[in-house]
Amino acid sequence: MRVKDLILLLAIIYSYSAYTQNMVEYTSGWEGKIENSKTFNLKVEIENLGLEKARFKIFNRTNIIDYPFNIKSASLIEIPFSENYYFKGVLSKNGKEINGFIKSGMLLYHLKLTQSDNNTFVGIWNILMVDELKSLNFYLSVENGAGNEYEAYPIFGDNRFTGTWCDNFKKENDSLSFTDFKTGLQFKGKLATNEILLDIYLGNNLLTQIGLTKSTTDWEIGGFKNDNKTSILQLTEMEKLISKDSLPNTHSVLISKKGKIIYENYFDGYNANIPHDMLSASKSISSSIVGIAKDKSLFKNVEQSIFDFLPKKYQIHKDSLKTKIDIQSLLTMSSGIDAIDYGINANPKSSATEQNYQRTPDWIEAILKAPMIHKPNTKANYGSANPALLGVAMDSVISEPLELFIDKFLFQKLGISNYIIQSDLKDKPYFGGGMYLTPKDMLKFGELYLNKGKRKSKRVISKKWVENSFKNYRNLENVVDKNGYGYLWWHNTYQVNEKSIKSIEARGAGGQYIFVIPYLKVVVVVTSGNYRNGKTQQPEAIFKKYILPYLEN
């Protein structure tokens, strides 16, 4: 056989073998190393703003995005720097900073870009939320492989990153691709014998490349040492229990009294710079946005029907009962829509639970199609569909992009810039939960309500709205403790030293709590990672047993 023919035959054999690679062979755990601890901490620059040669840049150790753009509006900077990615922001009145958001995946990452020199604005985008990776270990779980079918889930050794939500698994010949629709990161892999070469992209732009081999030992995930601070208040018993894992997955505990931080500590490698997933605790922030809109007379009153705010295509769901769903009923979980969340129990497909409506292409359509089980404003049942409708209502009355309104009228006034907002499928802020704030900024938000809407003597929300928010309208019927409920705020009472102490609380799954205790002039924040072990209410035990007794002394 001629050499030329032999080469051709080998090429055909290789091509055929690559094409017929069976994903059963790759169904396993894989591991490799990330290039460096700052790979996902991206620098963002806007150069020559307002000039013809303006550029939007994203880079780490190498240039990733270099996008030329022109501003069409002096009041709004919009930069679609890659397919399905954009930056949207506003230049401050003094011209020295730009506050805006990068939309990537399901997240709106807030960035504050400050002016350096030569009309250049500079900021940092931490796409994995953490300020620097504590572990360079990277793992890939390839599952359910059969022929060209498979699922693949990236897992970082630094578990302070909340993880990926991957989908859109594809295979062509020896190439794989899938997407993390939470962060927007794209993964593309090349299959080889006993190896996967995995590229991670931002759009079509390469971020980093990782060589993976099959795992032969258990994965090393988390386990980072605490870097605790010295605080005025000593809570040594609580700290010992956290360190011994008797109060597992506690990530932070912060306490302020009369506006002064008296205790601040972080655990499991967390620190003051990492925004924590608040999950449903951010429903209380959603309530504040409704209040700010009301204070600005962007809608008349909380007795207005939700159908006064909904786009025309949703009006077909209006009937004699649903038209009575008003803003107040949504704020108090009393809409009457079958949106009851019973946790892990099976939910009827017709109900408007998050598990159901978030699997549909139009969340609001799915919510409005659900049956009514009560007359509005009569019975309260906890469910995220209620604040989800509030988000649509607020978007309809606010003229600017909703996320920029939130930033301008709430977070900038609180001095908060390091945060992330989860969006819905239409790139709008999702009022049902999922915002990321640092624990210290969660504390600031709690203090805003403790101080009846003021921050450092400046009014942010009206006193009346705060007072109405903290009222107990009715008890939640679908939670074990039958808690009272305000405007997306929980009520609870703790018995300590024969005293009954009332607390108003923002709560999120996994153990994300903001406790506001007006009687003591105290705000307490606890963040946690108890998502699947049944300890989601552990912060209440921490608060009652290991914090309140010391505050009472």
User: Model confidence over 308-355: pLDDT tens digits?
Assistant: 999 999 999 999 999 999 999 999 999 999 987 655 444 666 688 998
CA angle 69, 417, 227 (to 5 degrees): 125
Give the start-to-end residue ranges of the domains of the chain. 22-37+132-214, 41-126, 226-275+439-553
Q: What is the mean pLDDT of residues 3-9?
A: 53
Q: Is 320 exposed, middle or buried (0-12, 13-18, 19+ CB in 10 A)?
A: exposed
User: Model confidence over 43-72: pLDDT tens digits?
Assistant: 999 999 888 889 999 999 899 999 999 987
| pLDDT at 16 > cutoff 80 | no
Q: What percent of the chain has pLDDT over 70?
A: 94
C-alpha span between 312 and 519 (Å, rounded):
47
Q: Is 3 exposed, middle or buried (0-12, 13-18, 19+ CB in 10 A)?
A: exposed
- pLDDT at position 340 is 79
C-alpha span between 327 and 335 (Å, rounded):
9
Q: What is the mean pLDDT of residues 123-147?
A: 97
226-275+439-553: CATH, from 3.40.710.10, 3.40.50.450, 3.40.120.10, 1.10.3720.10? 3.40.710.10
Of residues 140, 250, 155, the one with CA closest to residue 535 = 250
Q: How confident is the model at residue 13 (pLDDT cuts 50, 70, 90)?
A: very low
Domain 22-37+132-214 classified CATH 2.60.40.10?
no
| pLDDT at 195 > cutoff 70 | yes
